[in-house]
Amino acid sequence: MEIESLNDALIECVKAAGGSKTVASILWPEKPLNDAQRLLLACLNTERSEKLCPNQTLLILKLAKDAGSHVGINFICNSLNYSVPTPIEPEDEKAQLMREFIQAQKAMTQLADKLSHVGLKAVA
């Protein structure tokens, strides 16, 4: 399917994220499942007045990303003439955070050493 609109992209994101029932139950957990599904389908129907709020749209994009689909963000980037982003894999993010943490610990140790050389005691 050719993606011609943000709405088309969101429909593909919903499919990738497990379908309308799955996504609707996440968007509106307080609603009965069939009611939530009908509301989501109405929001994705351009002929209807129901619309998703920006945070709901972002949640759908995130659910699709978590499922391995980047059609939504790619459509947005292409529409705005941005280069398509490269997703950060959770393991890469963990490794980067660990490197930053270790680096910060070393910096704190060095700072504590400098403080002790000038006669001040570092407080934890």
Q: Is the pLDDT assigned to residue 39 strictly greater than 80?
A: yes
Mean pLDDT along residues 69-89? 92
Residues 123 and 69 in one domain: no
Residues 15 and 58 in one domain: yes
pTM: 0.71
CA 54/CA 93 separation, integer angstroms: 26
Residues 63 and 15 in one domain: yes
At 16, which helix (H) or strand (E)?
Answer: helix 6-16
Give the pLDDT score at 1: 66
Closest CA to 14 of 41, 38, 36, 35: 41
Task: Supply the DSSP string of 40-93, one letter for each residue.
Answer: HHHHT-TTSS----HHHHHHHHHHHHHTT--HHHHHHHHHTTPPPPPPPPHHHH
Q: By residue range, what is the domain housing residue 104?
A: 88-124
Judge whether 1 lies within some domain: no
Judge whether 59 lies within some domain: yes
Give the pLDDT score at 78: 95
